[in-house]
Structure 1
Amino acid sequence: MRKLYQRLALVLGMSAVMTVLIFTVSLYGRSRAENIHYLRQLLDGVEENLSHNSEDYRERLELLEEDYLKRARAAEYILSSGPGLVSEEELQIIKELMEVRAVTVIGNSGEILMSTEDRTGDESEESVFHVTVKAQSDRFAAVRVDADPGRLGLMDREDLMRSTLRQATTEHRTGIMAVDPETGEIIGFTRNNAQDFELAGIDTASEFLGLLESMADRRAAVLRVNEVYQRVLVRETEGYYLVAFSALDTVFADMTWSFWEGLIGIGAVSTAAILLVRYYLKKYLFRHFETVKEDISRVLAGAAGSGAADAGIPEVQAFVAAISELEKGYLDQAEGMHRMKDELSRARTEAERDKLTGLYNRRGMEKRVEIFLKQETPAGTFVLFDLDNFKRVNDSEGHPEGDRVLERFAACLRECFRKDDSLGRLGGDEFAALISGPVPDERLEEIFCAVMSGVREGLETYYKKYGVSVSIGAVPIDGKVRTYKGLYKCADTALYIAKYLGKDRCYINKEKISCMKKECIRCREDCPRSRLLDLKSREE
C-alpha cells in the first residue's frame, strides 16, 4: 500500500510539474502577444491622432485661404476706387489695415508697380502663403497679398509630429519616437519616457536607418536599447518611421510573479488532491479489498462468506447497462439534431442564392447591404451592372442561350472582385456588388474596366453579333445614405447616366443623386443628370 501511495504521489507530482511547464510556456506566449498588441495599439493611436491633426491642419489652411482671399479683394477694392495709383504711404496703411505681411500691385504686363516689400533682394524669404486677385480697374492687373507668418500659427511637418507624440499616453518604460527616414534624426518622443535611444551595435545613422527599414511594417524584434533588452516595433507612416518600444524586464517580472503564484497554487491543489485521494482510497477501495480477503479466507476455511464482496456486482452490471442505453439514445438524438441543423442551414442558403448563377439573389443581397449599413461608420461602394442589348440574345438565340450568357457574366464578376465582396443577381440581366472598405476612385475605375473588358472577351461572340456589353453605375458608401433603397436609387441613377452616355461604360455617383424624373425640376444647382437632360433636349 505504501508503494501505491508513493507511485500516486509521483504521478501527481509529475503532472503538477508538466502543468507548471505548460502554464509557463502559455504565460510567456500570452505576455508576448499582449505586449506586441499593446505596442500596435500605441502605433495605431499615434497614426489616428496624426491623421486627425493633419486633417485639422488642412481645414485651418482652407479657412486661412478663404480669409486672405477676402483681404485681397478688400485691398483691390480700395486700390481700384481711387482716381489713380495710391502713394507708398497709403499702400502701407492698406497693408496695416489688412494685417498682412505685404501688399503688391501688379501691372498689366506682369511687372510690380508698387509693393510694401522689397522683392528685388534675396528670394529666400519667399512668402509661405499668399493670395492674388484680378483687378477690376484698367490701371493695373492684379493685387497680391502675402500672409504674415507670425499671425498664421501654422506648424511644419516636424512640429505636427512632435505635437502628436506629446498627446500620446504610454505606460512606464514604454514609449514611441519618430525618426526622419532621410537623415536618421530623431524628431521627437512621447513625454513620459526617456528622451534618448541608444541601440547596441549601431554606430552610424546609415546603420540605424537600414535597421529601421528592415523592420518597418514587420514583426516585432527584441533589441538592446539603453542597456536594457526591449521589444521594438517599427511602422512607416506620413513620411516618418514610428518606433514603439517596451522594456522586457517589466514583462518578465510580471511573468515571474505570475509563475510563482501559479506554482504555489498548483502545489497546494496537488497536495490537497493527494491527501483526499489517499483518504477515499483507504476508506472505500482498500477497506473493500480487506473484506474480499476476509471472505476468501472464510471460504478456504470452510465457512460461508459475508457476501459483501460480490453483493455489488449485479447492481454494477445493471448500472453499466443503463448508462450504455442512455449513451446510445443520446448519440441517436445528437445525430438527428445535427442532421436537422445541416438541412436548415442548407435551406437558408438556398433561399438567399440565385439558382442559375450561384450568386446572392435580391433578398440575400439586400440583407447583406442592410447589415453592412448598420455599422457605426460604414465605408465601401454599392455597384449595379446591366447587360446592354441582352434582350437581343433571348429573342434571337432563346432563353437557354441567354442563361449561359448570364452564367458567364457571373463568372466574370467573380474574377474581378475580391472574396470579401458580395455579388448578387437582382433579376433578369441586372447584377449588383457590395465592395467593403474604402476604395480610391482610380482603383474602382480599374475594376470596372476589367469587368467591361472581361465581358468583351468572355462574351466576344455576343459582343460582335448583338452588341452585348455592360453598363455600370456606382455610389460610394460613407454613412450618409443608411438604407438599401436609398443606395439602390443612387446607383440606379448612375447606371442611367452610364447608359445615356452610350452604354459599355461606368459612372460613379459621388453626389448621391437619386432623382429619376424624365424632366428636370432644378432641385440642385449643379447636377450631372440635369446637364444630360438639357443636352438631350437641345439635340431633340
Structure 2
Amino acid sequence: MKKLCEKILTILISIFVVSSLLLSAVLYSAIYYMEIHTEELAARDAVDQLVDVILQLEEANQKAKELFVEDYLNRMSFISYLVEDCLEADLAISDAQWAEILERYQNMTNVVSYIRNIPTQLSRILFAVDAQTGEVIGVSRNNVQTMEMENRLERLRDRMDTPGVEWINGQEYLVVVEECGPYLLGFASEMGELQNRSVQYALFGMISIVIVLLIVTMIVYYSIKRYILRDLTMITEGIERFVSGDRQVEFPQAYSQEMNVLCRNLRLLIETVDNSSSRLTLLVEQLGMKVEVYEYNSELDQCYFSRNAFEMLGVSEAEAAAMAKEAYEAGCEPESVKHLRSGRVVRVHRVRNGATLFGFLYDITEEYEKEHQLRTQLQHAQGESQRDSLTGLYNRKYLEDAVTDYVNKHRDPKGVLISIDMDNFKKINDTEGHLEGDRVLLQFARLLESSFRACDVKARMGGDEFAVFLPGEVSEQALRQKLERLIRDCRICLAEKYETHGLSISVGAVFLDRENADYKMLYQLSDAAMYTAKNNGKDSLQIG
C-alpha cells in the first residue's frame, strides 16, 4: 500500500506540474495578447486625440495668424518709422526678410513644433510623416528623432487599415497610423516592453496558480490518503491475514459508505469461506463412513478438510494442506491409490474446477488387505501355475518352459532374452511399506505389458526382478532403441519414486543363437549383462 501511495503522489505531482506549465503558457499568451490589444486601443486613442488637437490647432492658428500678421506688420512699420525719423537710419525691411519672419512664426505654431513638444515614454513614439513623400516631419521629444524603415511610406500606409508590427530603428514596434490632411500621424509602441510587461504579469499569475494548485494537490492527496487509502490498507491487511491462516479477521468502521459496504461484503465472504470445513463435514456425514473430503483453492491458497480427514491420512493439517497443494500444482491423475505411512490404503478421487481442486478420500484398507489375502491364498492354491499372483505376468517356471520349447522347435533359433532389475526398490518397502512396493511392481508390470508385443513373454522372476523373451530375429539397433525407450518410460511412469528414492531399472540383454541355445546359459548371460549395467551406475542398459 505504501507503493500505491507513492504512485498516487507521483501522479498528483505530475498532474500538478503539467497543469502549472499549461496554465502558465495559456496565462502568458492571454496576457500578451491582452497587452497588445490594450496597447492598440491606447494607440488609436492617442492618434485620434492627436488628430483632433491638430485640426483644432490648424483652425486656431489660421485665425491667429491673420490677426498676428496684421498687428505684426503695423508694429514693424511703426518701429521702422521711428527709427528712420528719430535715428535717421535706413532700416527698411526687404520682402525676403518679411517672408523669413513670417515663416519663423508659422514654424512656432505648426504641427511639427506641437509633436516635438509632446512628452512620451521612451518605449512609445508619436510621429508625423509627409503623406506624399514619406519624409519624417516630427517625432515626440523623448525619442530618437529619426525613423529608419524600409519602404517607410508604403509600410505606414498599410498600417492605416490594420495595425501591426514593424521594424523601426532596428526594433519591433506595434504601429497605428491615421491620415490627417497632408500628414500621416502615427503611434509606435516597442514590442520588447510589451513582452516584458506580459512576462511580469504572467510570472505573478503563475506563482499564484502554482500556490493554488499546490494547495489543491496536497488537499486531494491528504483526502485520498485519509478517506480511501487508509481503508484500502486496512482491507488489504485483513485479507492478507486471512490468507495466511488467521481466521479472526475484523474490518473496522470505514470513513465512506462505499467502503463500509465493501467491508461488510468481505466479512460475509470470509465467513462463507471459513465455513467450508463445516460444509464438507456435513457432506461427508451424508455420504457415510470411511469417506472424507477436502477443497483446495489456489487463488486464496487455502485448503479446507472435513472433520476426520487428518485422522484418516495420519498427518497434521499443515502436511495435509501441503499434499493437496502439491497435487494441484503437479496436475495428478484424477484417481490414485495412496499407501500411507500409517499403513492405511486410501483411494483419492480428484475433481478440478478452475482454480479449485476437490478431493474425495476413500479408506480401502480393509478391502485391500482382503484382496491381498485372497491373492496369496490363490497363489498357494495354484502352486506352480503360469502366472505371477501379484502382477499377472508369467512366472519364472513358465518363462523357462517357453524359451526351452522355442529352442527345441527351431533348428537355428533367434531371439533375445532381457533381464531387468529395479534399482533402490528396497527403499520403498522400508520407508513406505510393502503395500506401496506392491503398487510400484504392478505399475511396472503394466509398463512391460504396454512396451512389448503380445507374442513376447513377460515374466516376473521374483521380488523386483523381471525378464522378457523376444522370439525371432531382432537387430541390435532396434533392440537398443526399445530398451532405451523402456528406461525413459519407466522414469516417467514412476516419476514420484524416481525423484524421492532414486528408483530406476538396470537392463541386460543377450541374443539367442546356436552357441547359447540353452535357457540356463542364456539367463546367466543376460543376468550378467544386467549386473554390468547396474555396476555402471544403474538406470542404464547393457547388451551382451
TM range (shorter): 0.3 to 0.5
Taking structure 2 as the reference length, what is the TM-score of the superposition?
0.38
Larger radius of gyration: 2
